[in-house]
Amino acid sequence: MSIDFKGRVAIVTGAGGGLGRQHALALAARGAKVVVNDFGGARDGSGGTATAAEAVVVEIVAAGGEAIANAASVTDYVAVQAMVQQAVDAWGRVDVLVNNAGILRDKSFAKMEVEDFRMVMDVHLMGAVHCCKAVWPLMTAQKYGRILMTTSSSGLYGNFGQSNYGAAKMALVGLMQTLSLEGEKHDIRVNALAPTAATRMTEGLMPPDVLAALKPEAVVPAMLFLVSQDAPSRAIACAGAGTFEAAHITLTQGLHLGNGPDAPEKLAAAWAQVSDRKGETVPASGAAQGTNEVTQALAAR
């Protein structure tokens, strides 16, 4: 089964370089009309120019594809709305949204300024919220949409010096979980991708031989699958160096201990059993936790 995007319109944010550029090129190569969005700022989010996005558009057009450039900051909701309207004016619809824009302001939590925390949250989390909100009515009306959140192992598992980035990236998973539920009846499928790739964001963080193995192109197949017509929904895919994994947020079977005065001591004594992963589940929604807890409580009566 061939994955193609003929007749589809895609928006890729942060597509002026690195992983976003590869996403845009790959979607265009498989037939999508692409809005190449990039604010053109530095790695920390400062500055801004349309040059990077325009250069990728030139590449796509030279290869026989269709693309337009957009330099909106994803932190600016009005500008994001205008970007979506730009796509509609040019091609009449939006089928795919790849939320890839991001910045880094790494420091240990003790040394990090609150403003650096807030700015990273604003770009990664609120940037994705703005883009999703802008395309949601279109996708609902056309009964079709594919949205991808770019999460990270730093969010899923933590990484020293990236409390702001990790918090934002895990928040995107929560956003994905709920939007996938709300979008299901409209065939809007929402997934998350945790890439490991050598880009401007990772310069100086890894040895040269490792960086060579982690080409951004090696992540792209996961993106193409997760925004394809037959994509899953609510998936958290991980990808790097041509290797693909799936991450899950699970719930153990747990143990009913009651709420008596000695419940804290009981929990401390039974923690190994409570956290035993045998028989754990991937809940269909947040309600599963409460259902499990109440079921065990009623059974213990």
Catalytic residue among 77, 144, 157, 165: 165
Beta-bridge partners for 246: 237
Phi-psi region of 135 (alpha: psi -120 to 50; beta: other; left: phi over 0): alpha
Write the single-letter amino acid at 77. Y
Contact 16, 57 (CB under 8 A): no
Beta-bridge partners for 174: none
By CB atoms closer than 10 A (0-12, 13-18, 19+), residue 154 is buried
Strand order in the sheet with 9-12: 66-70, 33-37, 9-12, 96-99, 145-150, 188-196, 236-240, 243-247
Q: Is 77 a catalytic residue?
A: no
Rounded to the nearest 5 degrees, what angle is found at the Cα of 175, between the Cα atoms of 171 and 179? 175
d(CA 195, CA 86): 29
Whose CA is closest to 196, among 42, 71, 18? 18
Range list of H helices, the chain: 18-29, 51-62, 77-91, 114-121, 127-142, 153-157, 163-183, 208-213, 220-226, 263-274, 287-299
**What tokens were used for 75?**
């932190």
Q: In this structure, are strands 236-240 and 243-247 parallel, antiparallel, or unpaired?
A: antiparallel
Residues tagged active-site: 165
